Amino acid sequence: MTFPAAPGAARQPGTARTREAAVLNRIDHVGIACHDLETAIARYESVFDVTVASREIHEDQGVREAMLRLGEGPGTSWIQLLEPTGPDTPVGKFLARRGPGIHHVGYRVANITAALAAIGARGVRLLDQRPRHGSMGASIAFLHPADLGGVLTELVQAALPFTGPA
Ligand code: CMX
Ligand code: CO
């Protein structure tokens, strides 16, 4: 399947996009669905020596979550552990259908509004037409897994710009 170029993203056919021109900059986090957040945190801490940087409840997403920091500075990425607030939520339905495991991948973008416009123009269904508030003050939006090989995909524009590239 080939995607039409994003509006304004002039590119010769067959030439690679430069890193700056790519819509996605890096993996921000992997979202992992679990039945019990505290049990999952204890497991990840004891196995990997990682620590929790933030615990939040997002009622609009139906999750209790913890962000576990991997690395420092502009290269920081995260493990996002997700416990549903109830059965009729995205993570609650996922757990019932598939059990615990990888729920989504979050990718860092420099400008989430521009990224949504570009991706939407390429025929991928946007679950969020506009960015929402996500973990640690980020702006986030989800893309439909059925249009991306079965992978629920999240775009993340971090709240605090790093000194390096987003
Ligand atoms: N990854 C891949 N496929 C998924 C999925 C996931 N995480 N969740 C559901 N699906 C698939 C199901 O397997 C099912 O596929 P089939 O029709 O082929 O069997 C289909 O989507 C429908 O499943 P469903 O249980 O009926 O779920 P819904 O259609 O009600 O919702 C989705 C699915 C992706 C639209 C919904 O979960 C959503 O909007 N997610 C975005 C928000 C979210 O996940 N928030 C929690 C994380 C918050 C955060 O990271 O901050
Ligand atoms: Co996420």
Instruction: Report residues whose beta carbon is within 6 angstroms of any ligand 1 atom.
Output: 31, 58, 61, 63, 80, 82, 90-91, 93-94, 97, 103-104, 127, 134-135, 140, 142, 145, 150, 152, 154
pLDDT band at 2 (very low <50, low <70, confident <90, very high): very low
- Ligand of minimum distance to the alpha carbon of 106: 2
R_g over Cα of the chain: 17
CATH of the domain at 150: 3.10.180.10
Q: What is the pLDDT of residues 71-119, one digit of tens each?
A: 998 889 999 999 999 999 999 999 999 999 999 999 999 999 999 999 9
DSSP secondary structure string, 61-122? Answer: TTEEEEEEEESSGGG-EEEEEEEESSSSSHHHHHHHHH-SEEEEEEEE-S-HHHHHHHHHHT
Mean pLDDT of the chain: 90
The Å distance, Cα 152 to ligand 1 centre, comes to 7
The Å distance, Cα 28 to ligand 2 centre, comes to 9
Among 47, 50, 80, residue whose Cα is nearest residue 64: 80
- Rounded CA-CA distance 132/61 in Å is 10
Domain that holds residue 128: 26-157
**Residue whose CA is at the smallest distance from ligand 1 atom 35:** 144
Asked whether residue 79 is assigned to any structural domain, the reply reads: yes
> What predicted TM-score, i.e. pTM, was given to this entire model?
0.90
Asked whether residue 38 is assigned to any structural domain, the reply reads: yes
Asked whether residue 105 is assigned to any structural domain, the reply reads: yes
The Å distance, Cα 70 to ligand 2 centre, comes to 15
The Å distance, Cα 163 to ligand 1 centre, comes to 34
Q: What is the pLDDT of residues 47-76, one digit of tens each?
A: 999 999 999 999 999 999 999 999 998 889
**Residue whose CA is at the smallest distance from ligand 1 atom 38:** 90
Asked whether residue 127 is assigned to any structural domain, the reply reads: yes
The total number of structural domains that make up the chain: 1
